[in-house]
A and B are shown apart, each in its own frame.
Chain A
Amino acid sequence: MNQPTYASLKKSSLPGPDDITRTQLPNGITILVRPNFNSMSVSVTGYLHAGSLYEPDEKLGLADFTSSCLMRGTKQGSFQEIYEKLESIGATVGFNSGSHTAGFGAKSLVDDFDTLLEILSQALREPTFPAQPVEIVRSQLLTGLAMRAQNTSEMASLLFDGLVYQGHPYSKPGDGYPETIMAIRREDLQDFHARHYGPRGMVIAVVGAVSPNRAIDRVSAVLGDWSTPHQPEVVTVPPAPTLGKITREHAPLPEKSQTDLVLGVAGPTRSSPDYVPAKVGNSVLGQFGMMGRIGESVRNKAGLAYYAYSSVSSSIGPGPWFVNAGVDPQNVEKAITLIKAEVERFVGERVSVDELKDSKSSYIGKLPLALQSNAGVAGALLTLERHNLGLDYYQRYEEMIQEVTPQTALDAAQKYLDLERFVIATAGPE
């Protein structure tokens, strides 16, 4: 083979202060726009502070339930009428809910941009939560939970979160439990919406064949006069609890063919200085190429799993740093031993300069691929805003990745990946 070549970025093609327009409306909505006249479509995404952190324990799933009902009827029209308008022009509007925020994503051909924004703003501002459609959504959510209970990967993650984040808001599942979904009344949805959906702290990104002036003008026309008088302060989350020992639990799912395992700890927050060294170092551990060192050991050498990788999440709070693998129930112990050995090596000695160079190159080269589509760019703009990274972040990206050294990666690994405090969650047959 030829000499290795490493990725580098052409900064001019990346989003930056020269081509991102950022503005804030008087009511607090931040708008980010990046035009792309090569495309025929426009992508609109955003978030507001109405995630599951704002719901009470006895009504877990309330934030998710609320966002799922926004398109089920508004003051301007019924579910059928809204979707008739939307689907007849081939447009989409979707809502989702996370721990901190509720999010939305919308897309249309550029000619239909105005219609798209009208539908989106009506759903955000004036949902009516009609009784019968709310029950349809409830049955869908309950079915989703019944399917979750049969999914080894989801059940292992659920168990893992519960163990790693004991007493912390991240321990609770955003989609709730059947009994909490059953406990939510229509008035709860109305109240949650009235209280938490509002312009303050809301962010909206528009990317596509639309000029910044037009985008700001249109967003302002539909959302500029929105106000929510008693919108609560943005909630922050505490640090993750410190566990005193290795914790291991199994969720039995009889008759399944494969066991999913999740091992790990609470990792750095997205804004922590540890985040980038942890992320780049983790690539060596369980991402680079075919899932890094863990993939090499568990899949390539031992042939134990189709997938075995590690991941550092990018959360506002201390998201998990974990390893996930799906293995034959008979091979669970073997796989855990191999994974632990790789983690031990990763926290015991610095990764080599060459390994780190490879992972850095991979990170740098991936960026343009992630920014091909309008939706990809819009998501990237939201990341800038959510974590306060600055409009020049993607132009500084290469430099920032290059600054990681084997020592800073090791420091981050040692700070978080304490094998004596690992959580091991498995889900599968007995």
Chain B
Amino acid sequence: MLKPVNKITLDNGLQIMLKEIHTAPIISHWLWYRVGSRDEIPGKTGISHWVEHLQFKGTPQFPAKETEKAVARTGGMWNALTYLDWTTYYETMPADKIDLALQLEADRMVNGDYKPDEVESERTVVLSERQGRENSPSFLLGEAVRAAAFRVHAYHHEVIGDTADLKTMGRDDLYNHYRTFYRPNNAILTMAGDFETETILERIQQLYAAHPAGEEPPRPQRAEPPPRGEHSLTVEGPGETTLVEVVYHAPPAAHPDFFPLLVLDSLLSGPSGLNLFGGGGISNHTSRLYTAMVEEKNVAVDIMGGLPATIDPFLYSLHLIVHPQKTVEKALAVMDGEIHRLQDAPPTQQEIDRAVKQSRALFAYGGESITNQAFWLGFSEMFASYEWVTKYIDRLAAVTPEDVQRIAQTYLRPQNRVVGTYLPRNGKTRS
């Protein structure tokens, strides 16, 4: 599943990770930049994501429309993702067509056009993307909860940015952001699939040799102070369904407590994997919260949990859809009851073994996709190293029942959380 990987750094600082997989005539190629909403300040929120959009608007060598056609003709898929800590561009293509991806990414690292009219037409596209999200109650709630959880740190705002900033930023802001962060010494190129390492490496060296290393980009230094008590908030809007999002301040991905917290999440809300590109998930119907809240007490119709892997301390979140005939208080009381149970007594070793087996299965399912394989290479390097993925199962297996109890006591305290409720105006449930 996790075969050896070649890791090379070029003189200009570009890191390269290559993993040969010869099961299908496909290659997935990714270029990762260490820039995301974490690097944004008020007034410029959403700039990393908007830059990502503009990277598809072309360069003199690769004009937008022709490039789009050239990629589509191969049948390959290409896209980009902007996240809290990183921005990444990927192409998964038939193996014999991959040179196009290599050329294109090397070129748009430095030669983006950023024409003023393109910036303007993309402004309304990004605003439209944001409006689409605002249609969803869970987005509105999540945005409010994040803002309450982070007063100082840039994790405060959504990756898409605030409407006010999306309306006021200009072409030069975007171009400067691009030039500051898009450079070889701030990037990692990862590839998995049907290639010969030596040949591909030579080609990469050729394409990136002329790109000089730049200055180390500036990094935000605004650490979030410790929370000083529970926050709670409500968001009101149309609909009939009450949603609750509870977030706890959590350790970053490289912290020793991260893996015990992953196990805790698996016990409380079910397993989650790293399969962004196929492979799917596993149901959570025997998790403690689902059992108590949905099956036994019927206070929720569904629950979900999540612990994103990040550079700085972020959030462990629990999402509840409240049962239409039950109150928020009742639902939270059942949830807290389960959390107290974990704080009061360690889980069984059997529960941990099960979480480990589930993770092993998720990796097996996800590993069938070459795209997932290349994604894992770069993703883990953004906040730790590829070892984070290769040792993932071992680290979960090393977690003890006492670790899980300690983690529950340390992190799942009311003083460490924000409780957000979406109150539907047409609903029967009221807080």
Contacts and interface: CB of A to CB of B under 8 A. Distances in A.
Do A and B interact? yes
Interface of A: 1-2, 4-7, 10, 13, 38-41, 79-80, 83-84, 86-92, 94, 107-109, 136, 139-140, 142-143, 146-147, 149-152, 253-258, 288-290, 296, 299-307, 326-328, 358, 361-369, 371-376
A143 B324 CA distance: 7
B148 interface: no
Nearest to A296: B65
Contact of B70 (A4, A80, A256, A328): A4
Contact of A90 (B56, B66, B75, B282): B282
Contact of A365 (B65, B75, B137, B364): B75
Contacts of A302: 121
B134 A109 contact: no
B191 to A, nearest CB: 16
Contacts of B281: 92
Contact of A150 (B65, B94, B238, B354): B238
A136 to B, nearest CB: 7
Given A142-B324, A151-B135, A368-B94, 5 more contacts: A79-B285, A301-B121, A302-B121, A303-B121, A303-B124
A369 B354 CA distance: 32
Given A146-B241, A306-B132, A1 B72 contact: no
A107 B324 contact: no
Most chain B CB neighbours (cut-off 10 Å) among A87, A88, A140, A296 = A87
Contacts of B149: none
Nearest to A150: B239
Contacts of A361: 72-75
A85 B359 CA distance: 16
A363 B75 CA distance: 6
A41 B97 contact: no
Contacts of A306: 125-126, 128-129, 132
A4 B349 CA distance: 58
B403 interface: no
Given A257-B131, A373-B368, A362 B324 contact: no
Interface string B300-338: 011000000000000000000101110000000000000
B76 A328 contact: no
B160 to A, nearest CB: 10
Nearest to A91: B361
Contacts of A92: 280-283
A328 B124 CA distance: 9
A1 B291 CA distance: 58
B368 A39 contact: yes
A108 B362 CA distance: 9
15 contacts: A4-B73, A39-B368, A80-B295, A88-B354, A92-B283, A109-B364, A136-B298, A143-B324, A146-B239, A150-B241, A296-B65, A361-B75, A365-B97, A372-B278, A372-B370
B240 to A, nearest CB: 4
Listed residue (B128, B281, B367) with the most chain A CB atoms within 10 angstroms of its CB = B128
B75 A143 contact: no
B105 to A, nearest CB: 14
A307 B129 CA distance: 8
B26 interface: yes
A404 to B, nearest CB: 16
A369 B76 contact: yes
A91 to B, nearest CB: 7
B122 interface: yes
B279 interface: yes
A246 B239 CA distance: 31
Nearest to A256: B135
Given A7-B74, A306-B132, A328-B131, A365 B238 contact: no
B286 A146 contact: no
A374 B369 CA distance: 9
A368 B237 contact: no
A146 B24 contact: no
Given A365-B94, A365-B97, A90 B362 contact: yes
B interface bracket (residues with beta carbon within 8 Å of A): 35 or more
Contacts of B136: 151
Contact of A40 (B1, B302, B370): B1
Nearest to B368: A373
A1 to B, nearest CB: 6
A41 B238 contact: no
Contacts of B72: 288-289, 358, 361-362
Most buried by B among A90, A91, A146: A90
A108 B121 CA distance: 47
B58 to A, nearest CB: 11
Contact of A1 (B61, B126, B364): B61
Nearest to A82: B285
Nearest to A80: B286
Contacts of B123: 303
B71 interface: yes
B61 to A, nearest CB: 7
Nearest to A38: B23
A150 B137 contact: yes
Contacts of B67: 1
Nearest to A361: B73
A110 B295 CA distance: 30
Given A136-B298, A258-B134, A41 B241 contact: no
A78 B125 CA distance: 49
A216 to B, nearest CB: 23
A10 B365 CA distance: 25
A108 B137 contact: no
A37 to B, nearest CB: 10
B71 A300 contact: no
Nearest to B67: A1
Nearest to B66: A1
Given A257-B135, A372-B368, A289 B68 contact: yes
Q: Which of B270, B279, B281 has the most CB of A within 10 A?
A: B279
B111 to A, nearest CB: 13
Interface in B1-34: 1, 23-26
B343 interface: no
B131 A258 contact: yes
Contacts of A10: 25
B119 to A, nearest CB: 10
B258 to A, nearest CB: 21
B120 A136 contact: no
Give the 7 A-B residue pairs with the shortest CB-CB distance, closest first.
Answer: A365-B75, A90-B361, A303-B121, A303-B124, A306-B129, A257-B134, A289-B68
B92 interface: yes
Contacts of A149: 239-240
A37 B285 CA distance: 30
B357 A90 contact: yes
B360 interface: yes
B77 interface: yes
Interface string B269-303: 01100000011111111100001001100100110
Nearest to B279: A373
Given A89-B357, A146-B324, A306-B125, A254 B73 contact: no
Contacts of B282: 87, 90-92
Nearest to A89: B357
Contact of B132 (A88, A326, A362): A326
Contacts of B237: 255
B228 interface: no
B222 interface: no
Contact of B94 (A7, A88, A140): A7
Interface string B367-384: 111110000000000000
Contacts of B75: 7, 361-369
A369 B278 contact: no
A300 B58 CA distance: 12
A45 to B, nearest CB: 12
Given A88-B357, A151-B135, A41 B76 contact: no
